[in-house]
Structure 1
Amino acid sequence: MTPDSSQFITHEPALVVNGRYRVHRITGVQRYAHEIVSRLGSNVEISSPRSAKGAVGHLWEQTMLPWVAGDRVLWSPCGSGPLAYGRQVVTFHDLFPLEHPEWYSPAYAKWYAFAMPRLAARALRLIAVSEFTKSRLVKLLGRDPETITVVHNGSQMIDRASDTQVNEARIALKLPTRRYVLSLSSQESRKNLSGILKAWSMVQQWLPADVWLVLAGPSVDQSVYGKQQVDVPMSRVLFTGYVPEEHLAGLYSGASLFVFPSLEEGFGLPLLEAMACGVRCITSNTSSLPEVGGDVVDYVNPLDSRELAQKMLHRLTTDSTPQVLSRRCSAQRSSLGTPPHARRSMY
């Protein structure tokens, strides 16, 4: 009997994932990569350096990663990949280093100003996390819109927490009160922390003494964003630092109000997460944020701290209806599902 020749064939995974995100602490972009990769199945190879960050990580990405990929399809989920590798699909979250180099360190901005156009031009297809980001890829880099697939981010891992989870988050993060306005982001200048603090200085005198402003998120990597100046000249403000994954839903769900007046966002995952937890939200009327928030959230000009203060005071002194808000948030989350044109093969 002739043996089955298939037993001698080694099947190599058809897709290789650029796993450089694995060496970084999980924030928005890294969470995107982790969650999708965890659902791709077994026919995938994840290639990542052991601990290389910064310039060493970029060197690995440009030299070793193409060698590992061979002639297979490579997916780079975080807007960075080997410039000389053509059989590649790249997810772009934003183009801010090109549009706003002043938000970054000079070395970081210079590298991405060089790399982003070349990466976008060489890749087989691009994935954009919002229609806004797709429009920037078309306008700034001249990419054919037919080769860009929009796939919105999701928040399946975040939902309204129980009272027990809210209390656990409050204790773990050492919140001084059960009543707080929350903003969650890193402390980079794009997130408009100064605007939030100016607005808070205007409204805190009109609020009960047990209402605090809670600013959650990690300090910035100065090699990426440069040195940031963060002054807190008023009372009843708490910086929590980085929030572990297990306490995110509890932190969101316990908030009286979520504010996210970012100057620009490629998507704006914290806004979607707050909506998923049924929290009243105020965000910017710019970039992708109206695309994400729909008619569920309140919008302000992020450069107008007085407008933000007025909106915050109005929401904090007006009764909300969490059940109705949760239903509206769920409907908006559903509307951000995969659009028909995103279901085509991305190869």
Structure 2
Amino acid sequence: MKIGIEAQRIFRANKHGMDYVVLQEILQLQQIDCENEYFIFVKPGPDRCVKDSANVHIVELSTPSYPLWEQWALPRAAKKAGVELLHCTSNTAPIWCDIPLVLTLHDIIFLEPRDKNNKSLYQNMGWLYRRLVVPRILHKCQRIITVSNFELKNIVDKLQIPESRMAMIYNGYNEWFRPIEDTKDIYKKYIKEKGFIFFLGNTDPKKNTERTLVAYAKYLKQSKVKRPLLMADLDRQFLEDIIKRNDIEIIREYLHLPGYIPNSDLPYIYNDAFAFLYTSLRESFGIPLLEGMACGTPVITSNTSSMPEIGGKDAILINPEKSDEIAEMLLRLETDEVFYNEKRAVGLQRAQLFSWRHTAEQLLSLYHDLAK
């Protein structure tokens, strides 16, 4: 079978969640499947992270915008390649396409109430694009994949899609996320000392950055250690607004904002962190949660959406809307060594249940089922 996989953004330098998911799926399929022929449709970029092989062909399509690439260039290129099944991996797909479709619908946040305080043009345009496209393509999809039981139920309930048309395939995490004895002082590129608190925040309201920073201010007021906070990928003006709005000037001298941290550095960062804050309001899966656990770093995460499902019942679960709970858990990790080591062990064990190999095997099985 000739299978097309949409992977538009995997060659860009600064990758994010969905980019990593499809990248790892492709790399695993390239290892385990010698029978099918794959056409990987990408936009040109500096990080050529997948190479052609005997049955995997990279097809670069250059257009000025995401909608034009997906709605015009992709279906034409797939048809020209003789693709028999087209897997679109990032929530949307071509509206006019006569090739059988598989869609990975990571979440349906675009159908949920929108936070009016979100000033990001990129995020708002993406939200609008998904609202326009997704309802028009769902009935055309041979199968709709999502990444957790939480999200599957959410999609079935809200979009009234028969469960028989759905598939749930968990994400995995990269094998280099593991306990590392020699971390090569990579942390020094971003912060002066080990034992910091780590947080992956951004301007998206679902990341809960504001409450997390308020919680950190409360932690600083009570902690004898006062660990610094390393925050990746956060806009400085956005941060300044939060500090002023909440009168938390206390946090300023303890913050370290290096910008984007490459995925290759993250295993070292997790290993040298005292704890990782993954306090989102809502996630369909949450790969960083697994990455932190796999490195043996205690992860404080939320008791909402998919996070209890992925982290497990013994994870450190807090109410993300209560900054006091986040602060109290940081303080407990700092003062209760038995609890700290307990949660470290829990994370290491839990992470072993997930792998990209298993993800790819399930995906290949789904392709075979549809071929029949």
- Alignment partner of 2:101 out of 80, 88, 107: 88
Verify the 8 A CA contact 1:275 1:329 in the aligned structure 2.
yes
- Alignment partner of 1:290 out of 308, 311, 319: 308
* Displacement of 1:254: 1.1
Alignment gaps of 5+ in structure 1: 1-12, 221-226
Question: SS state of the match for residue 290, structure 2?
Answer: helix
Change (3 A) 1:201 1:323: closer
Question: SS state of the match for residue 252, structure 1?
Answer: helix
Question: SS state of the match for residue 65, structure 2?
Answer: helix
Change (3 A) 1:30 1:186: farther
Is residue 67 of structure 2 the alignment partner of residue 67 of structure 1? Answer: no
Provide the residue aligned with 1:40 in structure 2: 29
Question: SS state of the match for residue 264, structure 1?
Answer: coil
Verify the 8 A CA contact 2:333 2:339 in the aligned structure 1.
no
Question: SS state of the match for residue 153, structure 2?
Answer: helix
2:114 maps to a residue whose letter is: P
Change (3 A) 1:218 1:205: closer
Structure 1 CA distance for aligned equivalents of residues 239 and 254 of structure 2: 22
Verify the 8 A CA contact 1:276 1:326 in the aligned structure 2.
no
* Displacement of 1:205: 2.6
* Displacement of 1:323: 6.7
2:20 maps to a residue whose letter is: R
* Count of aligned positions: 327
* Displacement of 1:318: 1.1
1:87 maps to a residue whose letter is: P
Provide the residue aligned with 1:101 in structure 2: 114
Verify the 8 A CA contact 1:189 1:228 in the aligned structure 2.
no
* Displacement of 1:139: 1.5
Is residue 231 of structure 2 the alignment partner of residue 215 of structure 1? Answer: yes
Change (3 A) 1:180 1:101: same
Question: SS state of the match for residue 215, structure 1?
Answer: strand
Verify the 8 A CA contact 1:216 1:242 in the aligned structure 2.
yes
* Displacement of 1:336: 4.5
**Range with greater deviation from structure 2 (55-64 or 187-196):** 55-64
Is residue 199 of structure 2 the alignment partner of residue 183 of structure 1? Answer: yes
Q: Percent identity?
A: 23
2:187 maps to a residue whose letter is: R
Q: Please list the CA deviations of residues 6-62 of structure 1 after superposition, one character each: whole Å capped at 9, or x if unmatched.
A: xxxxxxx71111121235421221111111111222721112233689972211211
Alignment gaps of 5+ in structure 2: 46-60, 244-248
Change (3 A) 1:54 1:213: farther
Provide the residue aligned with 1:27 in structure 2: 16
Structure 2 CA distance for aligned equivalents of residues 214 and 53 of structure 1: 36
Change (3 A) 1:343 1:335: farther
* Displacement of 1:326: 5.1
Change (3 A) 1:230 1:297: farther
Is residue 366 of structure 2 the alignment partner of residue 345 of structure 1? Answer: yes
Verify the 8 A CA contact 1:120 1:141 in the aligned structure 2.
no
Verify the 8 A CA contact 2:294 2:352 in the aligned structure 1.
no
Provide the residue aligned with 1:57 in structure 2: 66
Verify the 8 A CA contact 1:262 1:284 in the aligned structure 2.
yes
Verify the 8 A CA contact 2:298 2:344 in the aligned structure 1.
no
TM-score with structure 2 setting the length: 0.79
* Displacement of 1:249: 0.4
Q: Please list the CA deviations of residues 274-328 of structure 1 after superposition, one character each: whole Å capped at 9, or x if unmatched.
A: 1111111111110000001103321111111112111211112110477755553
Change (3 A) 1:230 1:242: farther
Q: Please list the CA deviations of residues 71-120 of structure 1 after superposition, one character each: whole Å capped at 9, or x if unmatched.
A: 52111111122122351111111111111333565443222112122222
Structure 2 CA distance for aligned equivalents of residues 89 and 327 of structure 1: 38
2:7 maps to a residue whose letter is: G
1:214 maps to a residue whose letter is: L
Provide the residue aligned with 2:141 in structure 1: 123
Verify the 8 A CA contact 2:169 2:362 in the aligned structure 1.
no
2:366 maps to a residue whose letter is: S
* Displacement of 1:344: 4.8
TM-score with structure 1 setting the length: 0.84
Structure 1 CA distance for aligned equivalents of residues 362 and 320 of structure 2: 32
Q: Please list the CA deviations of residues 178-197 of structure 1 after superposition, one character each: whole Å capped at 9, or x if unmatched.
A: 12111124342210111111
